[in-house]
């Protein structure tokens, strides 16, 4: 099991994703069922597809990474291709379940449930039903974050049940779980949990005797940082080059193998059973006004107790720091990196900012991967911002000019900041270039990659000026004066 510690949280922070009392064996299906697992799936079959989608919509639940309302996404996927008799792309596999293909002879597009026709299904004698997919995006490309792995290892049945409910609601018969190939423990846990749930009849052919088929497959993937992006992930599952696609058409209309596809992360799916099983009121009351529910964060850096914590959306960064035990002496808080490599670097004065999409966007950061790194006085913020920008430029796929050239120019500006050798009005150049990249970017990676340097200019101007005006590094990390002298002598 992943060695990260799950941090204890205050009683006012509900547990909706991770079990309040960790199970001795998370793969024990009988124990999970006794604790309520797959009860929500039975309820979903009784509610029928429109009722399930209605409950998800009413909850106000948003995708944990993007912040988009998931009810609208479910509705769009359920409607896509309805009544057209269309199916998946000719490139889709014709048999088996590899990468989500439909098994020969199985019931396509969700079949019927509870005596009715599931979303996207068809009555006897009607046209060929629409093939749809549900994809669990558990790739988690941030190399320093393992929140999704912790969830998959400690509560796999919640993710499986949530994905099965989603498949029933949108009329999909295939669920593909995409995981980083090196996450071997999470993959083993998923495969064992899926096998157990299928053997017990909770998922698979004729799930819970409903007539609906919900088949699962686990797809380990190796590749670049960009595989975490939704359209890149689908291309990777198809065996194609990992580059983002122009949207629209959205993946809910044309996704995996050209079929309507619903893509969410494990945390989003794990929250679904709580809503469907009658916890709608409690879920809607948890979190910030516009961002209901909880989210997993990984706290690291100069804290007493690094680890993973489940916190409600809207919890302040200060509250999350308290969960991690605060900043122990002799460390002193200098900055907080929020959102991963393409996140924003915030000053100590921002500890009161809520951990939700709106609040972080205004502050110049993002929810991103759920990473929160507390930085002490020994870190050079100029060097940190430049390093993050270089990582983002190196990880970019290069499909568009803002990605291929714009991010590289940003990285070069960051390097010149560290060297104390700016060219003219470098800060104005950085600002203008960032505006152009955000306005013309194809994917969020390009847009968010501007955050480290922009937050440096916004919050740490004195430290930046020390490098580019006085040729000194207050933290003693960079040597801008040496670089400047070497440049002058050449």
| Same domain flag for 43 and 176 | yes
Q: What pLDDT is recorded for position 277? A: 87
The answer on pLDDT for 132 being more than 50 is yes
Burial (CB < 10 A; 0-12, 13-18, 19+), residue 7, is: buried
Residues of the chain with pLDDT > 70: what percent?
A: 86
Q: Report the alpha-carbon distance of residue 261 to residue 131 in Å, rounded.
A: 9
Residue 21 located in a structural domain: no
- Beta strand pairing call for 371-376 and 333-338: antiparallel
Residue 393 near residue 348, CB atoms below 8 Å:
no
For residue 62, give the nearest of 250, 277, 293 by alpha carbon.
Answer: 293
Integer Rg of the chain from CA: 24
| Same domain flag for 363 and 388 | no
Residue range 3-16: mean pLDDT, rounded: 92
Residue 11 located in a structural domain: no
Q: What pLDDT is recorded for position 82? A: 67
Residue 342 near residue 48, CB atoms below 8 Å:
no
Percentage helix, strand, coil, to 5, in the chain?
45, 15, 40
| Same domain flag for 359 and 394 | no
- How does the average pLDDT of the chain come out, rounded? 88
SS3 261: strand
Residue 421 located in a structural domain: yes
Tokens 């896509």 sit on residue: 80
Q: Report the alpha-carbon distance of residue 291 to residue 272 in Å, rounded.
A: 15
Counting DSSP H helices and E strands in the chain, the numbers are 19, 11
Q: What is the pLDDT confidence band of residue 64, given thresholds at 50, 70 and 90?
A: confident
Q: What is the pLDDT confidence band of residue 126, given thresholds at 50, 70 and 90?
A: very low
For residue 283, give the nearest of 273, 270, 272, 292 by alpha carbon.
Answer: 292
| Same domain flag for 298 and 427 | no
Query: Of 285, 303, 326, at which residue does a domain stop?
Result: 285
pLDDT digit string, tens, across residues 355-403: 999 999 999 999 999 999 999 999 999 999 999 999 999 999 989 898 8
Dihedral over Cα of 119, 121, 122, 124: its sign: negative
Query: Of 320, 347, 376, at which residue does a domain stop?
Result: 376
Q: What pLDDT is recorded for position 481? A: 61
| Same domain flag for 179 and 95 | yes
Dihedral over Cα of 81, 84, 89, 93: its sign: positive
**Comparison of pLDDT for 62 and 413, the residue scoring more:** 413
The β-bridge partners of 219 are 178
| Same domain flag for 165 and 240 | yes
| Same domain flag for 391 and 328 | no
Residue range 434-460: mean pLDDT, rounded: 95
| Same domain flag for 349 and 223 | no
Residue range 98-126: mean pLDDT, rounded: 39
The answer on pLDDT for 151 being more than 50 is yes
| Same domain flag for 327 and 255 | no
Q: Residue 317's domain is classified under what CATH number?
A: 3.10.20.600
For residue 310, give the nearest of 318, 320, 300 by alpha carbon.
Answer: 320
Going from the C-alpha of 128 to that of each of 84, 92, 110, 194, 262, the distances in angstroms are 9, 15, 12, 28, 20
Q: What pLDDT is recorded for position 85? A: 44
Residue 39 near residue 277, CB atoms below 8 Å:
yes
The answer on pLDDT for 282 being more than 60 is yes
pLDDT digit string, tens, across residues 255-272: 999 999 999 999 999 999
The tally of domains found in the chain comes to: 3
| Same domain flag for 362 and 412 | no
Distance of CA 94 to the CA centre of its chain: 30
Q: How many CB atoms lie within 10 A of CB 476?
A: 9
Q: Report the alpha-carbon distance of residue 272 to residue 466 in Å, rounded.
A: 50
Tokens 């796929």 sit on residue: 397
For residue 312, give the nearest of 279, 349, 287 by alpha carbon.
Answer: 287
Residue 23 located in a structural domain: no
Q: Looking at 35-44, 118-127, 166-175, 192-201, which range is the least confident one?
A: 118-127
Residue 475 near residue 466, CB atoms below 8 Å:
no
Residue 18 located in a structural domain: no
Residue range 25-38: mean pLDDT, rounded: 95
The answer on pLDDT for 215 being more than 80 is yes
Residue 5 located in a structural domain: no
Q: Residue 115's domain spans which residues?
A: 29-285
Residue 3 located in a structural domain: no
Q: What pLDDT is recorded for position 120? A: 45
For residue 1, give the nearest of 155, 225, 144, 179 by alpha carbon.
Answer: 155
Q: What pLDDT is recorded for position 124? A: 39
SS3 349: helix
Q: What pLDDT is recorded for position 466? A: 95
Q: Residue 207's domain is classified under what CATH number?
A: 3.40.50.11540
Q: Report the alpha-carbon distance of residue 469 to residue 458 in Å, rounded.
A: 17
| Same domain flag for 138 and 220 | yes
Query: Of 376, 403, 424, at which residue does a domain stop?
Result: 376
| Same domain flag for 351 and 308 | yes
Residue 189 located in a structural domain: yes
Burial (CB < 10 A; 0-12, 13-18, 19+), residue 444, is: middle
């Amino acid at each position: 099991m992943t060695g990260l510690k799950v941090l204890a949280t205050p009683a006012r922070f509900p547990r909706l994703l991770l079990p309040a009392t960790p199970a001795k064996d998370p793969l024990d299906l009988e124990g999970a069922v006794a604790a309520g697992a797959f009860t929500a799936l039975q309820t979903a079959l009784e509610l029928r597809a429109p009722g399930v989608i209605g409950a998800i919509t009413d909850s106000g639940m948003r995708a944990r990474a993007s912040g988009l309302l998931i009810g609208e996404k479910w509705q769009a996927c359920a409607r896509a291709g309805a009544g057209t008799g269309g199916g998946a792309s000719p490139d889709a596999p014709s048999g088996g379940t590899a990468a989500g293909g439909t098994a020969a002879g199985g019931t396509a597009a969700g079949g019927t449930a509870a005596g009715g026709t599931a979303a996207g299904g068809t009555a006897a004698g009607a046209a060929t039903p629409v093939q749809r997919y549900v994809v669990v995006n558990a790739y988690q490309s941030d190399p320093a974050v393992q929140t999704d792995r912790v969830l998959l290892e400690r509560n796999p049945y919640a993710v499986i049940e949530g994905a099965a409910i989603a498949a029933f609601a949108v009329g999909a018969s295939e669920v593909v779980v995409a995981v980083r190939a090196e996450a071997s423990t999470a993959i083993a846990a998923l495969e064992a949990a899926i096998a157990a749930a299928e053997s017990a009849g909770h998922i698979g052919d004729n799930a819970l005797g409903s007539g609906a088929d919900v088949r699962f497959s686990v797809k380990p993937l190796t590749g670049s940082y960009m595989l975490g992006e939704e359209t890149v992930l689908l291309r990777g599952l198809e065996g194609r080059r990992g580059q983002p696609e122009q949207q629209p058409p959205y993946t809910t209309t044309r996704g995996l193998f050209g079929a309507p596809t619903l893509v969410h992360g494990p945390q989003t799916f794990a929250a679904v059973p709580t809503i469907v099983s009658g916890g709608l009121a409690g879920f809607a009351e948890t979190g910030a006004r516009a961002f209901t529910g909880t989210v997993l964060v990984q706290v690291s850096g100069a804290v007493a107790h690094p680890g993973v914590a489940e916190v409600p959306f809207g919890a302040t960064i200060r509250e999350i720091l308290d969960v991690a035990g605060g900043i122990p002496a002799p460390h002193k808080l200098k900055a907080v990196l929020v959102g991963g490599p393409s996140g924003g670097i915030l000053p100590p004065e921002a500890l009161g900012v809520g951990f939700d999409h709106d609040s972080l966007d205004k502050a110049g950061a993002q929810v991103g991967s759920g990473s929160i790194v507390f930085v002490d006085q020994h870190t050079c913020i100029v060097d940190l911002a430049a390093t993050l920008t270089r990582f983002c430029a190196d990880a970019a796929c290069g499909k568009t000019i803002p990605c291929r050239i714009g991010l590289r120019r940003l990285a070069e500006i960051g390097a010149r900041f560290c060297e104390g050798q700016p060219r003219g009005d470098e800060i104005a150049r950085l600002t203008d270039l960032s505006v152009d990249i955000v306005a013309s970017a194809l994917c969020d990676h390009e847009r968010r990659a501007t955050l480290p340097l922009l937050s440096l200019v916004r919050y740490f101007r004195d430290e930046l000026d020390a490098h580019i005006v006085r040729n000194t590094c207050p933290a003693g990390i960079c040597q801008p004066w040496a670089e400047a002298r070497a440049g002058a002598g050449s």
